[in-house]
Structure 1
């Protein structure tokens, strides 16, 4: 078959391929970016679905407007005001089929082949894949303990990338978070550039330690920023409902691109979600998730301290779903992965999260495992790390052992 040229340089999702391996229930998986199914509001969603079909069945099963269900967009607008103090009118909110579609739509309306996109390093694999499909030329700015390296950000912005894609709160894959000062300074740098910030905030409400900080969008003129969100981490990923906010000129282009993609996000799913939000306390539901994820994060951090070799460094995030590990230079995380699968434990090697490659890092998900499975899985993984590192994986004298977040 004669495929398009763009498909030649885009690989299938590494994580999705790993998840096929982890379908075996005997495997303890820290690989997927999966919310805990133990905390899906299944019964409340069932009631909402029944009510929607009983009260508005014909409308819920019909085609709908591209922009999305108006009451749901109003809900998001009100929540931005109540939670972060952001004035984002409903007409500047487009409902998307998961936040992943927001990435696809932004790439379609902003990028020509060879256009520059600035990414965090490490960066979200789904964004790398989405932008690669449209021929993006990538540059990167490192993440540190307080967020993006501002000196590198300033330098890269001089190269005039069209988009700077960032996940400032509990980033996937690293778990890193920009502090308030870094957000303000990053906004100042962006204000003086012609680069659009594409801010992804799927984990922002999943903080279980420290102080809440608003999105970078709070410090930045709306013309310079598109802000994405998702109900996947706080309600249900299976509904596939996210959103993107943008100023009117950009929103017009995004709506046009979505019309060409799928006409509109499922009207039935949008109405069910909105009924759920109307009839349930979302903040109380999020509080339950925060507590559970905080306990699982603490369990993983403590298990790592007991079972991992000292040379394996890991982050200790204040929220979200992931922590990040770096190994001494010369230690191949894919070799560790191969051994781990033999012991029926899975994680994600770091290479797919870099546009310029690295082999001594890895991502762990703590949200989708019970404390008992976390303890056992980390114990098995620790054994694999010790075996691989004992065969010559320690860093040469003076070598930088990897990303230091």
Structure 2
């Protein structure tokens, strides 16, 4: 009976393998490299205790009232300044506050995608972007990557083969899942291609602040003179994820569509947490806070790499990210990371199999490891267990 009632998108929805895995790993007994969790010790808990009292005392019931869909004006101004420091010229009115950058992805799908439209994306790409786009029934064309990001020549080939392309989705900085950073030359070349082919780019940029080598590159949006880059970002990785405060910046014509669709989704993002984020940045040194986070994450990344070099058998390749939260492992073709995961879970270790990050599936010999959310001790222990399992697999 219900089957005849549900919409097609509801009938075809499938549980995310990653989300189901994370339910199983929510235990002190499991060393989970699976989630993209920031380190909880980086959350400004004590500062927020103070700010909660200040904001409530000064604003009273206003903090609990309905608010405009666009978001808190003071936060708009702060974000515009932060983007300006990256070389992006943007007015506060060109920013929409979203419920995390995940809502930005959901709204992107609603704004641009009809059934059969083509999404260009890196291969592999962010799993939750795929999940956000899928209810609109798009087709995907995956663009090959190397250590400098998406390969421009492969992008041109895909553009020449298909005229129904709506958007290119990319994470230029410390990409999830690979940790790769698009080179400056590729960024400039990509913007040239976008102009020549009249291509809309969705630039997802949650990790750029977490730069380990002090040599970050300007965002694609900073090169945009035609209003063709839609910029998504969030405070989830720099302040805390639970407040669910992100944003979209785009041309006025495009942003208007996002705002109208957000009104029908949730009216507005949590107003109280918007005010808290704004007050936190006004009162405290967020740059110093981010530097402290970087020291923690870089040390954990180095620990993971050192452990991989020590415990993994030969014949396995992996990325060495200069920022972000993840690294990417490529196993010998005969090893399935899906089967490896089953055995690893029995020994108290979890990760995400790489096939989940490819819209077309396959690539069973890959996996993503997160280093930000675990202590160095647990990282070393977990990698050692994975190394032992891999050594056993190669002996079969």
TM range (shorter): over 0.9
Aligned position for 1:26: 29
Corresponding residue to 1:94 among 80, 84, 96? 96
Structure 1 unaligned residues grouped into runs of 5+: 392-405
Aligned position for 1:302: 306
Deviation at 1:99, TM superposition (A): 0.2
| Alignment pair present for 1:108 and 2:113 | no
Distance in 2, matches of 1:310 and 1:93, equals 48
Aligned position for 1:342: 346
| Alignment pair present for 1:13 and 2:44 | no
Tell me, yes or no, if the aligned pair for 1:191 and 1:221 is still in contact at 8 Å: no
- Deviation per CA, 1:239-258: give whole Å up to 9, x if none: 00000001011011000000
Aligned position for 1:145: 147
Tell me, yes or no, if the aligned pair for 2:55 and 2:275 is still in contact at 8 Å: yes
Corresponding residue to 1:80 among 64, 78, 83? 83
Distance in 2, matches of 1:116 and 1:308, equals 39
* Paired residues for 1:298-337 under 5 Å: 298-337=302-341
- Deviation per CA, 1:198-219: give whole Å up to 9, x if none: 0000000100125110111122
Distance in 2, matches of 1:14 and 1:142, equals 24
CA-based RMSD of the aligned residues comes to 1.0
Aligned position for 2:186: 182
Tell me, yes or no, if the aligned pair for 2:178 and 2:328 is still in contact at 8 Å: yes
Counterparts in 2 of 1:210 and 1:329: CA distance versus 1, 3 Å: farther
* Paired residues for 1:175-214 under 5 Å: 175-209=179-213, 211-214=215-218
Aligned position for 2:276: 272
| Alignment pair present for 1:223 and 2:237 | no
Distance in 1, matches of 2:49 and 2:314, equals 47
Aligned position for 1:169: 173
Corresponding residue to 2:367 among 362, 366, 369? 362
Distance in 2, matches of 1:239 and 1:375, equals 31
Deviation at 1:222, TM superposition (A): 4.6
Distance in 2, matches of 1:17 and 1:88, equals 39
Tell me, yes or no, if the aligned pair for 1:11 and 1:129 is still in contact at 8 Å: no
- Deviation per CA, 1:44-79: give whole Å up to 9, x if none: 111111111111021111000000000001100011
Aligned position for 2:386: 381
Counterparts in 2 of 1:222 and 1:70: CA distance versus 1, 3 Å: farther
Question: In structure 1, the residue corresponding to 2:281 is in which secondary structure?
Answer: helix
Tell me, yes or no, if the aligned pair for 1:217 and 1:225 is still in contact at 8 Å: yes
Question: In structure 2, the residue corresponding to 1:237 is in which secondary structure?
Answer: coil
- Deviation per CA, 1:342-382: give whole Å up to 9, x if none: 11011111111001212110000000011111110100011
Structure 2 unaligned residues grouped into runs of 5+: none
How many pairs are equivalent?
390
Deviation at 1:12, TM superposition (A): 2.1
Question: In structure 2, the residue corresponding to 1:162 is in which secondary structure?
Answer: strand
Distance in 2, matches of 1:292 and 1:41, equals 15
* Paired residues for 1:236-251 under 5 Å: 236-251=240-255
Distance in 2, matches of 1:292 and 1:246, equals 33
Deviation at 1:85, TM superposition (A): 1.7
Distance in 1, matches of 2:199 and 2:384, equals 45
Tell me, yes or no, if the aligned pair for 1:222 and 1:246 is still in contact at 8 Å: no
Aligned position for 1:52: 55
Deviation at 1:142, TM superposition (A): 1.3
Distance in 1, matches of 2:79 and 2:327, equals 28
* Paired residues for 1:60-75 under 5 Å: 60-75=63-78
Corresponding residue to 2:395 among 384, 390, 405? 390
Tell me, yes or no, if the aligned pair for 2:89 and 2:222 is still in contact at 8 Å: no
Distance in 2, matches of 1:312 and 1:343, equals 21
Distance in 2, matches of 1:113 and 1:46, equals 46
Tell me the TM-score normalized by structure 2. 0.97
